[in-house]
């Protein structure tokens, strides 16, 4: 039996799609889980440790040196200053160009070099550093959890966090009057006035999986697939359809808008079930709901959405 595992955006976005709601009403409802996406990924792409080393996995998609050392995300961000402190307001800065990122990183590299941590630009909005050997473990706050929160509640604390608080401040000083930021502000864009540190860890030594392919734009998933030596596909219907019949595939649509999923994917998913391309679909919503759909479920006409 082959299953297409589909990671989806929050279920609330599908409220207006009558066919979709009817389809789910006939499916098997599995127990909800607030961390359903993470649970699904960790269950399908298994590796040692509890934490997900995001920086190392992201970097592994762009370079061949991620297997050595411990890596940390150092992403460009916009922090808003306030009378009583500051708050992280924008991450990631998706409109940052490659040229802008190169200029900003060139200014910051001596600062990180002096700290024994080379700074690397993987993509304009995703940067990382390789931690110095023997650096103590420090808890960092994920940017998605820090957005809008007072900065003092998010920066590393204690003696081990002191060097990182200092480096955070020194990076802000270096970025404050940068010409790139002056140009961005003049164009009505948000400046890059901070780097956000998070996602530390070494690259997993191995990943075990029953999947044959991962279709995703997410670098973390593509990095895990690379370690597992399985195919990576673009998350497009034609790419998934071209995968070998009978294979287990993970399809990540978590960053897609719900109407796009309904319009572009609903016909393909229904067709694949009908012709037996996949024997079942395991649907995981970002809001925690989970369903399993099989071809025979279309006969459950008595179930109403």
Tens digits of per-residue pLDDT, 177-204? 999 999 999 999 999 999 999 999 999 9
* pLDDT band of 1, cuts 50, 70, 90: low
pLDDT digits 0-9 by tens, 45-65: 999 998 899 999 999 999 999
Which residues, other chains included, contact 144 with Cβ-Cβ below 8 Å and sequence gap of 6+?
Answer: 91
Percent of the chain with pLDDT over 90: 82
Helix (H, G, I), strand (E, B) or coil at 23: helix
How far from the centroid of its chain's Cα atoms is residue 131's Cα?
21
The pLDDT of residue 73: 98
Helices (H), 177-218: 179-186
Assess contact for 141 and 91: CB atoms under 8 A: no
The pLDDT of residue 250: 97
The pLDDT of residue 242: 86
The pLDDT of residue 301: 67
Task: Please state, in angstroms and rounded to a whole number, the distance separating the CA atoms of residues 254 and 288.
Answer: 12
The pLDDT of residue 104: 98
* pLDDT band of 68, cuts 50, 70, 90: very high
Mean model confidence pLDDT for the chain: 94
Q: Is residue 299 over pLDDT 70?
A: no
Q: Is residue 303 over pLDDT 80?
A: no
Q: Is residue 305 over pLDDT 80?
A: no
How confident is the model over 84-110, as a mean pLDDT?
97
pLDDT digits 0-9 by tens, 245-259: 778 999 999 999 999
Assess contact for 17 and 294: CB atoms under 8 A: no
The pLDDT of residue 22: 87
Task: Please state, in angstroms and rounded to a whole number, the distance separating the CA atoms of residues 186 and 178.
Answer: 13
Closest among 281, 140, 119 to 201, alpha carbons compared: 140
How confident is the model over 279-303, as a mean pLDDT?
87
- The DSSP secondary-structure symbol of 150 reads B
How confident is the model over 264-284, as a mean pLDDT?
92
The pLDDT of residue 27: 94
How confident is the model over 30-34, as a mean pLDDT?
94
pLDDT digits 0-9 by tens, 152-171: 899 999 999 999 999 999 99
């Amino acid at each position: 039996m082959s299953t297409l595992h589909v990671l989806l955006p929050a279920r609330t976005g599908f409220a207006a799609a009558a066919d979709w709601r009817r389809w789910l009403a006939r499916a098997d409802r599995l127990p909800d889980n607030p961390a359903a996406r993470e649970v699904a990924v960790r269950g399908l792409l298994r590796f040692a440790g509890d934490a997900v080393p995001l920086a190392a996995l992201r970097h592994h998609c762009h370079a061949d040196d991620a297997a050595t050392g411990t890596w940390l995300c150092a992403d460009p961000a916009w922090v808003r200053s306030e009378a009583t402190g500051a708050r992280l307001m924008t991450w990631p800065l998706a409109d940052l160009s490659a040229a802008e990122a190169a200029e900003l990183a060139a200014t910051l590299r001596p600062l990180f070099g002096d700290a024994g941590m080379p700074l690397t630009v993987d993509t304009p909005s995703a940067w990382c550093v390789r931690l110095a050997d023997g650096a103590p473990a420090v808890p960092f706050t994920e940017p998605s959890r820090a957005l809008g929160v007072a900065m003092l509640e998010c920066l590393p604390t204690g003696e081990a966090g002191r060097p990182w608080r200092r480096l955070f401040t020194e990076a802000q000083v270096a970025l404050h009057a940068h010409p790139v930021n002056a140009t961005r502000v003049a164009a009505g864009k948000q400046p890059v006035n901070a780097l956000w540190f998070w996602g530390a860890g070494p690259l997993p030594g191995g990943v075990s999986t029953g999947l044959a392919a991962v279709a995703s734009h997410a670098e973390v998933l593509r990095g895990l697939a690379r370690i597992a030596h399985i195919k990576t596909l673009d998350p497009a219907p034609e790419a998934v359809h071209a995968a070998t019949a009978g294979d287990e595939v993970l399809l990540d649509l978590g960053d897609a808008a719900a109407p796009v999923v309904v319009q572009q994917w609903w016909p393909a998913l229904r067709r694949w079930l009908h012709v037996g391309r996949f024997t079942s679909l395991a649907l995981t919503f970002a809001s925690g709901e989970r369903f399993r759909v099989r071809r025979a479920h279309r006969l459950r006409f008595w179930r109403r959405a």
